[in-house]
Amino acid sequence: MTQLRKCLAVGLLALGACTYWHGDLERIVDQSGRNFAIAPDKVYKDVDLAAVAAYPTNYKFVDIQFQAVVNRLDEKIFVTGYSTFRQEDYVAFSVWPASARLWESDSWVKSIPTLYLRKDNADLQNLISATRYALAHIKGRVMNDFENLPFIDVHYFEVLDPYAYSEETLTDLRGGLAAVADKKPAQSIERLERALEGPLHARARVMAHSQLGRIYEERGDFDKAAKHFEAVLWDDPENVTAWEGWERNVKAEERKRKMPKQ
């Protein structure tokens, strides 16, 4: 009996001396080699990454899925002793939540730099091929909340749109909105119309079209105003303000056409 206890103690000490990923023990017991951490049938909770970034502790060890906009693929945040991510095994990258208003400087500077994808992951090429401002669908697990950042072990990475934004369209969108604030309608129209010619995420398109609808309405160009409010509805069918703006300008254009010419 004494000898058996010694053998058990040695075995437990050996197991405790090793570092295991969440799920490794299941694979050892199962003896099949299946990776339970990234199984195809795993259920991932739909989240807004902004909510995870705001309260990462609430999502610790939760499997999540979300859309995000790629920022940089060469982040260097590897915190030895506080996470299990090692630079020799993982690629670290940063993203913005898909809901981020990247045309505003406060949102643009708040990308999340603590996403990690194993270098032997089948989706590594998807990540490496992704351009800045690509819109991606990501699945993974929040492994830590060090320094109030969510450290996410990425299991799946899929590009949904290779160009959700571009530097040029964001610059024009920012300039157009600044011109709106400065009450410079001609400059606003020029910059916002140009922004809409390039890649823009749906949230940004709604913003640009809404502003242009208001500007054209104020200038008495009801036909163009109606078209911009209608464009908002293609991306946001439940937008009550856009519906009201479209109806108001369609009726105004009809009245305008019925007026006798001077």
Residue 1 is predicted with a pLDDT of: 42
Residue 14 is predicted with a pLDDT of: 40
What radius of gyration do the chain's Cα atoms show? 26
Residue 223 is predicted with a pLDDT of: 97
Residue 84 is predicted with a pLDDT of: 81
* Residue bearing the bigger pLDDT, 41 or 99: 99
Q: Which domains does the chain have, with CATH numbers?
A: 38-161 (2.40.50.140), 167-258 (1.25.40.10)
> Over 60: is that where the pLDDT of 20 sits?
no
* Residue bearing the bigger pLDDT, 174 or 146: 174
Residue 39 is predicted with a pLDDT of: 61
Residue 82 is predicted with a pLDDT of: 66
Cβ distance 153 to 140 under 8 Å?
yes
Residue 159 is predicted with a pLDDT of: 97
Residue 40 is predicted with a pLDDT of: 62
208-218 exposure pattern, b = at least 16 Cβ within 10 A, e = fewer: bbbbbbbbbbe
- Summarised one tens digit per residue, pLDDT across range 200-219 is 999 999 999 999 999 999 99
Whole-angstrom CA distances from 59 to 47, 56, 188 are: 10, 5, 41
Cβ distance 173 to 200 under 8 Å?
yes
Kindly indicate the confidence band of residue 261, based on its pLDDT and cuts at 50, 70 and 90: confident
Q: What percent of the chain has pLDDT over 90?
A: 73
Residue 7 is predicted with a pLDDT of: 42
Residue 147 is predicted with a pLDDT of: 87
Cβ distance 156 to 139 under 8 Å?
yes
pTM of the model: 0.79
**Interval 189-206 mean pLDDT:** 96
- Summarised one tens digit per residue, pLDDT across range 125-172 is 999 999 999 999 999 999 998 888 999 999 999 999 999 999 999 999
Residue 9 is predicted with a pLDDT of: 39
* Residue bearing the bigger pLDDT, 54 or 260: 54
DSSP for 74-135, please give it: ------BTTBS--TTTEEEEEEEETT--TTSHHHHT--EEEEEEETT-TTHHHHHHPPTT-E
* Residue bearing the bigger pLDDT, 262 or 16: 262
